[in-house]
Amino acid sequence: DAGKSGYDHYMLKEINEQPHALRECLRGRPRELEASIAIDELEGLKQPERVHFVSCGTSYHASRYGAKLFREQGIQTTTFLASEYDVDSIPIDEETLVVGVTQSGETADTLRALRAANSVGAETLAVTNVVGCSAARETDYVMYIRAGPEIGVAATKTFASQQVALAMLSRDLSGRCSSAFIEALRALPDQVQSILDTSHAAAVADEYVDADAYFFIGRGFDAPVALEGALKMKEITYKHAEGFPAGELKHGPLALVTERTPVFAMISGNSNIERMVGNVREVESRGAPVVAVTDVPGRIENHADHVLEIPETHGLFAPILANIQLQLVSYWVANRLGRSIDKPRNLAKSVTVE
Ligand code: G6P
């Protein structure tokens, strides 16, 4: 228990370590004067023709977010679940950079995908947290996210650090960055701290602890965080949760929405506010409670039962901040239900079987 520094769970400790983790991830990488990003360990890595992300679980959600940032820079990028990566059926060659995003660097599916990429001559890069892990040893390049050890099985601080690492990587590879981007990156640790200091996620959790299921929706850059919010909720509360891009609501999930299924809606400056408000109205009219996670509360509060506010940021970074609120909601629901938060049943921190 000594390692928990007074917190009841490692997970809560690690959620609270995020400002520090992000400062470490950023250390020495953004260059204010040149308005550029330099990742020293990637010296020599050029902008590739195309990028494939291979990853699992939470790392897959970080990859989905990262891929959007890469594409926004004009880099042709595809995400694959590592267990579904099949080099025989997709275009892959020496001009392809295959990026394995893996906290532990030991996930069997991700290692298999990276080995397959190596075998066909692609360049490989591991984005990982663990120095000297298998993924780092077996790839051409490695970028460390520097989040520090994560004990809780459910990934928290490593997800935020992966998001920030991939944001920097997108600019390092494209060679195009802006002062505004760097300024916003630098502001993130303090903004995360302000969420941790003021969040009323615990009260929201109290209100919905008996819900039948939880839904998470977002558009664009927010969509991967909707997936991650649902995964976190499932992992530690054992309750049904689903996340999806908000536009898909009407193609099926809406049939499950009732007054007993709270819907968490990410609505950030970058997420097409009008259409998100439309989606929120769809669930509101079915009686579902709405929790808006937003940096534009004025645009949504009339349609939300609760607002979990995040500070204003560069639109691209709102999903990093929104996720902190979602982590806290899941933690407090699991806590009220008395779950085994740090070691959920049937799950392992690192899965070394395919
Ligand atoms: C396990 C963990 C997840 C993690 C996933 C991928 O399922 O419980 O938290 O996201 O593996 O792990 P990796 O170490 O490759 O990021």
Are 268 and 322 contacting, i.e. CB atoms less than 8 angstroms apart? yes
Q: In whole angstroms, what is the distance from residue 113 CA to residue 56 CA?
A: 11
Are 169 and 28 contacting, i.e. CB atoms less than 8 angstroms apart? no
pLDDT value at residue 87 = 87
**pLDDT mean values, one per 10 residues, the chain (354 residues):** 88 98 98 93 94 98 98 97 93 95 98 97 98 98 97 97 98 96 97 98 98 97 97 98 96 96 91 91 96 94 95 94 98 98 95 92
Amino acid identity for residue 235 in this structure: E
| Closest C-alpha residue for ligand 1 atom 8 | 349
pLDDT value at residue 1 = 62
pLDDT value at residue 269 = 75
Expressed in angstroms and rounded, the spacing between residue 269 Cα and the centre of ligand 1 is 30
Handedness of CA 236, 239, 242, 243 (dihedral sign): negative
Amino acid identity for residue 265 in this structure: A
Expressed in angstroms and rounded, the spacing between residue 39 Cα and the centre of ligand 1 is 24
Q: Ligand 1 pocket by C-beta < 6 Å: which residues?
A: 56-59, 102-104, 107, 110, 153-155, 347-351
Q: In whole angstroms, what is the distance from residue 67 CA to residue 64 CA?
A: 5
How would you list the strands of the sheet with 290-294, edge to edge? 240-245, 213-218, 263-267, 290-294, 306-309
The beta strands (E) that lie in 3-115 are given as 30-31, 36-37, 50-55, 76-81, 96-102
Expressed in angstroms and rounded, the spacing between residue 59 Cα and the centre of ligand 1 is 7
Q: What is the atom index within ligand 1 of the atom nearest the CA of 153?
A: 8
In DSSP notation, 241-271 reads EEEEEGGGGGGTGGGG--TTS-EEEEE-TTS
pLDDT value at residue 182 = 97
Active site residues: 349
Q: In whole angstroms, what is the distance from residue 111 CA to residue 54 CA?
A: 9
pLDDT value at residue 291 = 98
Angle between helices 57-72 and 223-237 (to 10 degrees): 170
Q: 174 by DSSP, 3-state: which? A: helix
Ligand 1 pocket test: pick from 351, 352, 353, 354 the residue with the most ligand atoms within 8 Å of its Cβ. 351
